[in-house]
Chain A
Amino acid sequence: MKSMLLCNYIVGALGALVGAAIMNAASAFPMAFTQNGPGPGFWPFSLGGALFAAAIVLLGYTVLNKKELAEQTVALTTDSNKRVYLLMGIIVVFCGLISVLGFFAAGLILIPAIMLLMDFHDKKVIAMATIGTLAFIYIVFSLVLGTKLPQSIFLG
């Protein structure tokens, strides 16, 4: 558990940073007013400025409400969170596997992996859900809609 106070400080600082970065990037484009209106950099520069200002307001609000925010917690390090982070890792690996093994073969690994991650161990149901889902996707997307899902590099 982390306090909202700490989270707000981080979010405020990141927001200010992103706002400043947008202003910096936008300043590379013309901003002066011509007969075609303000230059293409004006609007994004204003948005970056507004984001920067909002982030400073958030930081100010956080400083003024330290006590209240210190009592609010954000769950980021519980066992459930760790499962989510593990799932994120699996998804990243899955993205890589799609390119190597193809969509369906990678799916054969992903579906059971998520079910096991959620502490579901009924092998019959896992097998049925995996085959059923992939069969459904194959019929609807590949056969009916004609979508060419990524194939294994070994087949190309």
Chain B
Amino acid sequence: MTEILNALQMILVPMNLLGLIFGVLVGIAFGCMPGLSVNMGLALLFPLAFSFHGIGGILMLLGIYCGAIYGGSISAILLKTPGTPASVATTLDGYPMATQMRQPGRALGLSTMASMFGGVFSTICLILLAPQLAKVALQFSKPEYFALAIFGLSIITSVSSGSVVKGIMGGLFGLFLATVGIDDMSGTVRFTLDTTYFLGGVSFIPVLIGVFAFAQVLSSVETYYHQKVEGQIMTIDGSLPSIADIKRVLVTLIRSSCIGTFIGCIPGTGGDIASFVSYDQAKRWSKHSSNFGNGEPEGIVASEAGNNAVSGGAFIPVLTLGIPGDGATAIMMGALMVQGLQPGPLLFVEKATDVYAIFIGLLLANLVMGVMGFSLIKLFVKVVKIPVHILLPIIVMMTFVGTYSYNNSMNDVYLMVFSGFVGYFLNKLGFSMSAVIIGIILGSMAEQNFVGSLIMSDGSFSVFFTRPLCLFFLAAAALSLFSPVLGKLFKKG
């Protein structure tokens, strides 16, 4: 109880609250503009987060994370162009309701309500489940942590990448980058190219901004060159959902929130998978299944509740086990680590107040997102219409100034540009940048626990195969990596 009160005290500092509100506002803007993404918003404002003292920066990033998932639905409904992949399913019924039925306000209201409900629901699940899982994880030793890092990386590479082998290659390269600098165990200087710049390791923030923000700008230049996003001019009257609509969608709302939270817990999945699974289930169980695709309220609610419910679910493995589920949670985990908060079960023991501050912050971010969605929707409709030609140069400048301001170093800027160029080509070739980033983040954890396990066992590798939980995680990792091959074999059989 004392921790909760202390956490509330931390959050209710005006500057921290302002950071959260600013984050939600920026997040919705990033989410609703086609060509920008959740990861880009988080990466760009990552350096700014350190200008806040204490938890303020984390709250701002939480706001961006929640806001951007919701923001994607605005352009999905108004332009049939989802701002984020998580809102693709929202276009199926949102756009017909806004255009054919001429009810854009109703569609936006339903999506706002569903997003807020999904987000709040999953945060409550996070608050209830995470401490219990952390208690279990406290029993883990070095071999289990090593196996967990391998499991996290394997499931992400197999699910998030177009090609499993390329995913593995990306993850391995990320793990290698994490070895650059002074080795924590032996103090040996490794792979620094004889420069002092790499002594502290490959700087995470320039790489992050490069692959998630700068590479995305390059991709957007390619996508939007000679292409104009045009939508119909729509007048938004009211956006509060009616009682009749709420009654109609209530069951779908709860079901989709459960699905989204569960999918969010699984590393490597994300809002796009959650929204499609929720949509599919809503259609299967609905009394109005024939109306799906023609502006069905349940369709909008299913997709939006599903994708926003991922936010709380995704934090369960991050906070309790230190395993980020996707690029966005990897960035969030990086932010926590830079602030001195090492995700994992010990976080719940050593920094319980900060954990509760994150819980309450996530809850508040979802509520603020809902309030802003209902009250500022006309503003966001205008934001959707800002041409990409104006946005992109601004974002390029922000990538430079954001990277530079972190360490006042031009070397960081050169690293960011280089990472962006490489990221652009690797994206085109089917590599998952999330796998590389998660490899960098998990690299130190994997190596330290690998070495620690071998010290425990006097150099015997049997330590990884004789402990049940460790064996379970390693078997699960192997299964997730080989599942595409096994799937093909079963189909042939």
Contact = CB atoms under 8 A, between A and B. Distances in A.
B89 to A, nearest CB: 26
Residue in A47, A55, A129, A145 with the greatest tally of chain B CB atoms within 10 Å: A47
A35 B457 CA distance: 11
A120 B230 CA distance: 16
Given A11-B429, A36-B185, A147-B405, A120 B394 contact: no
A36 B51 CA distance: 40
B394 A36 contact: no
Contacts, number: 153
B465 interface: no
B221 A110 contact: no
Given A76-B428, A80-B222, A29 B188 contact: yes
Contact of A61 (B165, B404, B455): B165
A79 to B, nearest CB: 7
Contacts of B428: 74-76
B213 interface: no
B280 interface: no
B417 interface: yes
Interface string A85-120: 001100110110011000100010011001101111
Contacts of A4: 430
A35 B454 CA distance: 10
Contacts of A55: 169
A99 B400 CA distance: 13
Interface string A61-79: 1000000000000111001
A115 B459 contact: no
A50 B221 CA distance: 35
Contacts of A22: 176
B236 interface: no
Interface residues of A, number: 64
A20 interface: no
Interface in B113-168: 163, 165-166, 168
Interface in B437-483: 447, 450-452, 454-455, 459
A156 interface: no
A150 B190 CA distance: 31
Nearest to B430: A4
Contacts of A26: 190
B226 interface: yes
Contacts of B374: none
Given A37-B185, A83-B222, A149 B190 contact: no
A11 to B, nearest CB: 6
A58 B455 contact: no
Interface in A116-156: 117-120, 125, 129, 133-134, 137, 141, 145, 147-150
A54 B172 contact: yes
A147 B402 CA distance: 10
Interface string B208-237: 000000000010011111100000000000
Interface of A: 4, 7, 11, 15, 18, 22, 25-26, 29, 33, 35-40, 43-44, 47-48, 50-51, 54-55, 57-58, 61, 74-76, 79-81, 83-84, 87-88, 91-92, 94-95, 98-99, 103, 107, 110-111, 114-115, 117-120, 125, 129, 133-134, 137, 141, 145, 147-150
5 contacts: A25-B191, A43-B179, A58-B166, A103-B400, A119-B226
